Copies of this chain bind each other. A is one copy, B any other.
Amino acid sequence: MTGTDPVLIFIDRAERGGEPPLFRQVSADEPQISVFDLGITRGDGIFESIGVFARWPLQLAPHIERLNRSARMLDLPELDDQAVETAITMAVEALPPLPEILVKIVVTRGLESASGLTTWVIASDNGDYSRERTVGLRAITLDRGYRSDVAETSPWLLQGAKTLSYAVNKAVLREAARRGAEEVIFISSDDYVLEGPASSLIVREGNTLITPVTSIGILPGTTQQAVFSHAAKHGLDTEYARLRTADLARADALWMVSSGRLVVPLNRVNETPVPVDAALTQKLLADLLAGEE
Contacts and interface: CB of A to CB of B under 8 A. Distances in A.
A61 interface: no
A120 B40 CA distance: 12
Contacts of A37: 33, 40
Nearest to A43: B43
Contacts of A74: 167, 171
A145 B147 contact: yes
Nearest to A28: B35
Interface in A50-90: 74-75
Contact of A44 (B34, B113, B166): B166
A45 B169 CA distance: 13
Is the interface on chain A under 10, 10 to 19, 20 to 34, or 35 or more residues? 35 or more
A197 to B, nearest CB: 10
A231 B40 CA distance: 37
Interface stretch (A150-158, A220-228, A262-270, A284-292): A150-158
Q: Which of A1, A28, A31, A42 has most chain B Cβ within 10 Å?
A: A42
A165 B167 CA distance: 6
B28 A33 contact: no
Given A42-B164, A166-B44, A145 B122 contact: no
Given A31-B34, A156-B171, A157-B168, 14 more contacts: A1-B113, A28-B35, A31-B33, A33-B33, A33-B34, A35-B106, A37-B40, A43-B163, A75-B171, A143-B153, A143-B154, A145-B146, A146-B146, A147-B189
Interface of A: 1, 8, 28, 30-45, 47, 74-75, 106, 108-109, 113, 120, 122, 142-147, 150, 153-154, 156-159, 161, 163-172, 174-175, 189
